[in-house]
């Protein structure tokens, strides 16, 4: 299976990736690393466990290195390149073992695949390792769809969901396409379109801290579109967006909520009731 991705040139500044390249998917491996992300670890640990369950269901052993931390994205997007490189070097050391790396967040996977190349553009030896990690990195839904080639039986009750995809994850990892395809494999799930699917939820890492009024207005638009879609809940593969959207919904005293896609998928195919 091949799919178009957009890679920035090694010496590019931080702009949207512009050069299309073909991605070739490997055969399903026997073992992978799960890079859990700091947001999942701190706020949605059950989603990380459900990601492991989804992978183990496919016969894949999962390593979870305890020393993993942040991918460096907050420092990088805030303009602290030296600090981001320091964090990134630690992750490179941890993940430099040849195993495929599965990430339950398109924005963090995009950091590995895209922005580490920019971070280390002036270090040719490091860049070799960075390029190797980039080719071994897969966002969770992408991995399940194109590497595992999952074929699931939906054991859940009929439901309607709205999908939210992180704007950076859409741009860098095509997560909207992967998530839509996985949801389409669930016979009892209807995915409803909404007006603001492609728009930013207003989180944007430190953007929501630096410009809270603008961020708040953006997430209000997002939550209104989600609730007006007629869906029973929202699903997303990005923890930062989930944290922001659910936080806004709670502040609005709404009962509508979002859920990490890993947990939604696991409960549908395992038959486990939602806790």
- Over residues 50-67, the pLDDT tens digits come to 999 999 999 999 999 999
- pLDDT tens per residue across span 181-197: 999 999 999 999 988 87
- What's the CATH code of the domain at 235? 3.40.50.1860
28, 131: one domain? yes
Residues 110, 28, single domain; the answer is yes
Domain residues for 245?
159-270
Q: Which of 31, 23, 25 is nearest to 55 (CA)?
A: 31
| Whole-angstrom Cα Rg for the chain | 18
What is the spatial distance between Cα 4 and Cα 22, in angstroms, rounded to a whole number?
A: 5
pLDDT of residue 21: 53
Q: Report how many domains make up the chain.
A: 2
Q: Are 167 and 243 part of one and the same domain? A: yes
Confidence at residue 274, expressed as pLDDT on a 0 to 100 scale: 64
Instruction: Tell whether 135 is covered by a domain.
Output: yes
Segments of the chain scoring below 50 in pLDDT: 1-20
Half-sphere exposure of 149 (CA within 13 A, CB side): 6
pTM value is 0.88
Distance CA 172, CA 242 (A): 18
SS3 100: strand
Are 120 and 22 in the same domain? yes
Rounded Cα distance, 12 and 8, in Å = 6
pLDDT at res. 112: 95
Assess if residue 218 is contained within a domain: yes
Burial profile 34-48: b = 16 or more Cβ within 10 angstroms, e = fewer: bbbbbbbbeebeebb
Decide which of 115, 147, 179 is a domain's last residue: 147
As given in the structure block, the two tokens for residue 62 are 């999962």
Residues 49 and 166 in one domain: no
Are 6 and 140 contained in the same domain? yes
201 with 137, same domain: the answer is no
Q: How far apart are CA 33 and CA 102, in angstroms?
A: 6
């Amino acid at each position: 299976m091949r799919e178009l991705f957009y890679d920035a040139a090694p010496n590019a500044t931080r702009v949207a990736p512009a050069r299309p390249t073909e991605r070739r998917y490997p055969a399903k491996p026997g073992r992978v690393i799960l890079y859990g992300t700091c947001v999942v670890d701190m706020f949605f640990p059950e989603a990380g466990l459900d990601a492991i369950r989804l992978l183990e269901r496919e016969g894949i052993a999962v390593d979870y290195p305890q020393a993993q931390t942040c991918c460096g994205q907050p420092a990088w997007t805030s303009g602290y390149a030296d600090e981001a490189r320091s964090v990134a070097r630690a992750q490179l050391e941890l993940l430099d073992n040849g195993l495929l790396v599965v990430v339950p967040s398109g924005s963090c996977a995009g950091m590995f695949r895209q922005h580490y190349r920019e971070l280390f553009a002036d270090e040719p030896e490091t860049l070799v390792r960075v390029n190797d990690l980039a080719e071994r990195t897969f966002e969770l839904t992408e991995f399940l769809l194109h590497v595992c080639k999952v074929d699931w039986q939906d054991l859940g009750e009929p439901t309607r969901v709205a999908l939210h995809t992180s704007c950076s994850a859409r741009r860098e990892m095509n997560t909207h396409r992967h998530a839509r395809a996985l949801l389409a494999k669930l016979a009892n799930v209807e995915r409803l379109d909404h007006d603001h699917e492609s728009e930013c939820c207003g989180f944007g890492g430190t953007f929501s801290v630096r410009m809270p009024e603008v961020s708040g207005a953006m997430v209000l638009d997002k939550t209104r579109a989600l609730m007006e879609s007629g869906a029973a809940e929202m699903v997303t593969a990005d923890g930062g967006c989930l944290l922001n959207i659910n936080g806004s919904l709670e502040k609005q005293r709404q009962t509508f909520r979002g859920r990490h896609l890993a947990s939604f998928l696991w409960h549908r195919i395992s038959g486990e009731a939602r806790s």
